[in-house]
Amino acid sequence: MKNTSKSSSNASALDRAVEGFLESRRVDAGAADKTIEAYRRDLLQLSAWLSTKSVNCVSETDLNGYISELTHRGHSASSVARKTSAIRQFFLYCVRDLALKENPADRLETPRKPQRLPKFLSNEQVVLLLAAADDGIPYPDALGEHLRARDRAMLYLLYASGLRVSELVGISVHDFDLSLGYLRITGKGDKQRITPFAPVAGERLREFLEGHRPALKPQTDHVFVNYRGQALTRQAFWKILKLLASQAGLTPDISPHVLRHSFATHLMQSGINLRSLQVLLGHSDLSTTQIYTHVTPAYLKSAHRKFHPRGGS
């Protein structure tokens, strides 16, 4: 009974520390409500587990045992990684703000997530998609011609520059130079980069800007607007892309990010170096870009057989 009472007391102290940590995340880090709730669930789950084990002083062994048990229970690698991250941040808070002498999560390893190779379109599929954009969606509207020119410019520009969809819809009339074929993009973390685009995309963009955008009576500096003249949303572009993919006879699971992956993969297949691709994609870490080295082996093998003097022997 005595051990149960002591364990309960320790659990209560841990729960209070968790609440302090959550308040710290909310006030000092400006964490969103959903993030706070995820932290709360993960840490209270740990507290409950420690209580069942009658743990009085949390050790590295305890935490490794907990992570191991989560894995054996069938939790996904992503779920375990998220919980591990929450635990590490919590104990850092305990050391910094609650004067905990030793951090039991200091060497806690985050399980590796299985690497998912990005989906991308073949060159032939991109040709079909762009042809569908050239034909356009049959909008039942007097503005249909202008909307089709907008869709065409967006799709060509997305594939020509590898933008994120948020970057695409966020482009302002002040963000590009058509004569030089460059865009100034504001990406994640408000980081800016300059990215080029192909002449054919520039032609579609010029056509829309000069011959069609004014007819939509834009009420914003955003290049791409809807039929009311307001900035087009990411969700609206997703719907446009799915309609065009359907017209092209392609699978309905095509997303703007699939086009971004296609842009990157096709450049890798053409021999671009990884550092240049990193800059074009706006990746802050080269390790993020390195995934594209794993999606080209089949192409490289085919090219080797075709072009190497002894490739087919």
Distances (CA, A) of 285 to 177, 266, 274, 275, 293: 27, 20, 11, 10, 15
CB-CB contact of 137 with 240 (8 Å): yes
148 tagged catalytic: no
Collapsed DSSP state (helix, strand, coil) of residue 222 = strand
Closest CA to 133 of 152, 119, 114, 111: 152
261 tagged catalytic: no
Collapsed DSSP state (helix, strand, coil) of residue 48 = helix
**Marked catalytic residue, from 191, 257, 304, 305:** 257
**Marked catalytic residue, from 148, 150, 164, 222:** 164
Q: Looking at the chain, which runs of residues are DSSP E strands?
A: 176-177, 182-186, 192-196
Packing angle, helices 60-72 and 77-97, rounded to 10: 160
Q: Which residues contact 201 (CB under 8 A, 6 or more apart)?
A: 153, 156, 157, 159, 160, 161
CB-CB contact of 53 with 15 (8 Å): no
6 tagged catalytic: no
**Marked catalytic residue, from 188, 191, 304, 308:** 188
Closest CA to 145 of 213, 199, 200: 213
212 tagged catalytic: no
Q: How far apart are CA 54 and CA 189, in angstroms?
A: 44
- DSSP of 151-199, one letter per residue? HHHHHHHHHHHT--HHHHHT-BTTSEETTTTEEEEE-GGG-EEEEE--H
Q: How far apart are CA 107 and CA 136, in angstroms?
A: 56
**Marked catalytic residue, from 146, 213, 222, 283:** 283
**Marked catalytic residue, from 25, 83, 213, 260:** 260
Q: Sign (positive/negative) of CA torsion 308, 271, 117, 134?
A: negative
Catalytic residues: 164, 188, 257, 260, 283, 292
